[in-house]
Amino acid sequence: MSTVIESHHDDHGHDHGPPTYGLTRWLFTTNHKDIGTLYLWFSFVMFLVGGAMALVIRAELFQPGLQFVRPEFFNQMTAMHGLIMVFGVIMPSMVGLANWQVPMMIGAPDMALPRLNNLSFWILPFAGSLLVSTLFMDGGGPNFGWTFYAPLSTTYAPPSTTYFIFAIHLLGASSIMGSINIIATILNLRAPGMTLMKMPLFVWTWLITAFLLLAAMPVLAGAVTMMLFDIHFHTSFFNAAGGGDPVMFQHVFWFFGHPEVYILILPAFGVVSQILPTFARKPLFGYASMVYAVASIAFLSFLVWAHHMFTVGMPLAGQLFFMYSTMLIAIPTGVKVFNWVSTMWRGAMTFETPMLFAIAFVVLFTIGGFSGLMLAITPADYQYQDTYFVVAHFHYVLVPGALFGIIGAVYYWLPKWCGRMYDETLGKIHFWLSFVSVNVLFFPQHFLGLAGMPRRIPDYSIQFTDYNMLSSIGAFVFGFSQLLFLFVVLKAIRSGAKATDRVWEGAHGLEWTLPSPPPYHSFTHPPKVTEAEAHS
């Protein structure tokens, strides 16, 4: 009897496409794949915008002296580049990956809250345009760095700061709604048999990231709300003259800001933990320890914020506490790197493009992690504070870290998403161009910082010229290499060879049991979670 009903259901409910086509398909869509695609394209557009700003910065820093832009505009470029890359590129593209992958990896038909999903995406283009539009307003856009320390962002801020505040509110609301959706999907829509400790690591990292977002983003919303009050309603949260304290801004900001950096990197940890076992043809080494490591990193991230502000003046006990707690994070991170290397150890490895990006991630992220450890040493930090060493450090964890994770994920899952393979040769060219240029771009910045070149300054002393030229050359090669990435993706979508359902010989996981491209609604019937398809 039940078979009859099921087959009847199948005839009507299986594999129907989007309800409408054209613009309204995208505007009104509640489908996780459509929304994932929108997130990813939005991030790519913002990536080009934020990247263009980075190239303005690097063009200006090619030589000492002022060549192309006024210092005021340079400041707006450094601030907007950071804001766009953090809030407009890395965060939305990670949410895009989660939208595409989480339902397919846990055996769900769609996200748990599809309409909320539509809203969380469609806020973004408005928030993004609001943020970018400040550049064209009187007095220019944000010129106080992506960290927008008060009183630079209150007393001395350009008038457009109010728009910036609302843009941050909207971006925050979008990621909070996205996180609620992801948590609800993971906790309530797993296929029978998909227990928490059988979930793929990408799903685990996103579950933990979503909780980090829920705890951290409201604090940022609080900080910008206080700024709004200080600017317009004569309160004195951060105004010393009225009894407030600008240093408190830094505490509130970094209480959000440090969990934020793990929000940016944890999903990339998840991606790498999917890619490495596939191409090493071995299960992930130390699955449970990976889960616990991510959870401890997330927990510790709330206890280390003041290591960003050692030089503001802090009791010795405070400096010691934040130094040791920061160094403690190196332990779970070390566990992860150890497990990734052990996964590859004696594996039957092949080096397709996603694998190349994943291996580069492991090596270069670790370099960024080590420079982070150097910065954690309080007495040494007094030398590194606000120099290019800090710039080199966080670009190493964010570009060959988070961004390589995202690019690797796109190469890894693109054949599944569109049913067509990308051009492997072009992919490898893209990888090698990116890999070499990213190091030419950021490695010399370590030396510049150690030699004392300050960050966020449009001019520098002539002894810094050689390394700055090298860095700028790397920047332009890296930037234009990403247009090749765009070409590879478009070529795959339009004319790539047909991909198999499994795509990669060593791939395990529920998403590979679906056809390529997958049906509009992934699993209308809960799949059987076999041992082979559980966490890979």
Question: Where would I find the H helices in 233-315?
Answer: 246-280, 287-300
Alpha-carbon separation of residue 291 from 286, 330, 361, 526 (angstroms) = 9, 15, 19, 25
Contact partners, residue 3, CB within 8 Å, separation at least 6: none
Catalytic residue (one of 78, 134, 174, 536): 174
Look up 174 and say whether it is catalytic.
yes
- Candidate segments 184-192, 277-285, 347-355, 384-392, binder of another protein by CB under 8 A: 184-192
Catalytic residue (one of 37, 325, 333, 343): 333
**12 binds another protein, rule: CB under 8 A:** no
**263 binds another protein, rule: CB under 8 A:** no
Q: Name which position in 4, 21, 138, 234 contacts another protein (CB under 8 A).
A: 234
* x/- track of binding to another protein for residues 153-172 (CB under 8 A): ---x----------------
Look up 110 and say whether it is catalytic.
yes
**498 binds another protein, rule: CB under 8 A:** no
What is the C-alpha separation between 331 and 325, in angstroms, rounded?
11
The sign of the dihedral angle between the CA atoms of 316, 321, 323, 324 is positive
**389 binds another protein, rule: CB under 8 A:** no
CB of 216 to another protein, least distance (A): 8
Q: Name which position in 221, 264, 309, 448 contacts another protein (CB under 8 A).
A: 221
Nearest CB to another protein, comparing residues 4 and 317: 317
Angle between helical axes of 353-376 and 316-328 (0-180°, round to 10): 160
Q: Name which position in 45, 52, 240, 320 contacts another protein (CB under 8 A).
A: 240
**188 binds another protein, rule: CB under 8 A:** yes
**184 binds another protein, rule: CB under 8 A:** yes
Q: Name which position in 318, 345, 461, 515 contacts another protein (CB under 8 A).
A: 318
CB of 241 to another protein, least distance (A): 3
Q: Name which position in 25, 198, 251, 502 contacts another protein (CB under 8 A).
A: 251
Nearest CB to another protein, comparing residues 248 and 328: 248
Contact partners, residue 134, CB within 8 Å, separation at least 6: 140, 141, 142, 158, 160, 161, 163, 164, 167
Catalytic residue (one of 43, 134, 175, 378): 175
Look up 307 and say whether it is catalytic.
yes
CB 333 within 8 A of CB 269: no
Q: What is the DSSP string of 310-347?
A: GGG---HHHHHHHHHHHHHTHHHHHHHHHHHHHHHTT-
Catalytic residue (one of 32, 169, 258, 416): 258
- Candidate segments 12-20, 28-36, 314-322, 428-436, binder of another protein by CB under 8 A: 314-322
Q: Name which position in 47, 100, 202, 255 contacts another protein (CB under 8 A).
A: 255
- Candidate segments 178-186, 332-340, 452-460, 491-499, binder of another protein by CB under 8 A: 178-186
Q: Name which position in 222, 347, 506, 526 contacts another protein (CB under 8 A).
A: 222
**252 binds another protein, rule: CB under 8 A:** yes
Alpha-carbon separation of residue 77 from 55, 62, 120, 162, 205 (angstroms) = 10, 15, 27, 18, 32
Catalytic residue (one of 58, 307, 420, 508): 307
Q: Residue 242, exposed/middle/buried by CB under 10 A (0-12, 13-18, 19+)?
A: exposed
Look up 146 and say whether it is catalytic.
yes
> Any idea of the CA torsion for 36, 37, 41, 44, to the nearest 10 degrees?
60
Match 């991630």 to its residue by tokens: 361
Tokens of 248: 């408190």
**218 binds another protein, rule: CB under 8 A:** yes
Nearest CB to another protein, comparing residues 295 and 349: 295
Nearest CB to another protein, comparing residues 74 and 253: 253
Q: Name which position in 85, 199, 226, 397 contacts another protein (CB under 8 A).
A: 226
What is the C-alpha separation between 383 and 387, in angstroms, rounded?
8
Look up 33 and say whether it is catalytic.
no
Q: Name which position in 5, 11, 22, 315 contacts another protein (CB under 8 A).
A: 315
Q: What does the DSSP 8-state code read for residue 526?
A: P
- Candidate segments 215-223, 386-394, 412-420, 490-498, binder of another protein by CB under 8 A: 215-223
Coil vs helix vs strand at 43 = helix
Look up 258 and say whether it is catalytic.
yes
Phi and psi at 65, nearest 5°, equal 90, 175
CA 89 to chain centre: 7
Query: Longest Cα pair distance anywhere in the chain, in angstroms?
Result: 83
Residue positions counted in the chain: 536
Look up 39 and say whether it is catalytic.
no
Q: What residues numbered 87-146 form the site for another protein, per CB under 8 A?
A: 112-113
Look up residue 365 and give its amino acid.
F
The sign of the dihedral angle between the CA atoms of 487, 490, 496, 502 is positive
Look up residue 103 and give its amino acid.
P
> Catalytic amino acids?
81, 110, 146, 174-175, 258, 260, 262, 273, 307-308, 333, 336, 455
Q: Which positions lie near another protein, rule CB under 8 A? A: 112-113, 156, 176, 179-180, 183-184, 187-188, 214-223, 225-226, 234, 236-237, 239-242, 245, 247-248, 251-252, 255, 313-315, 318
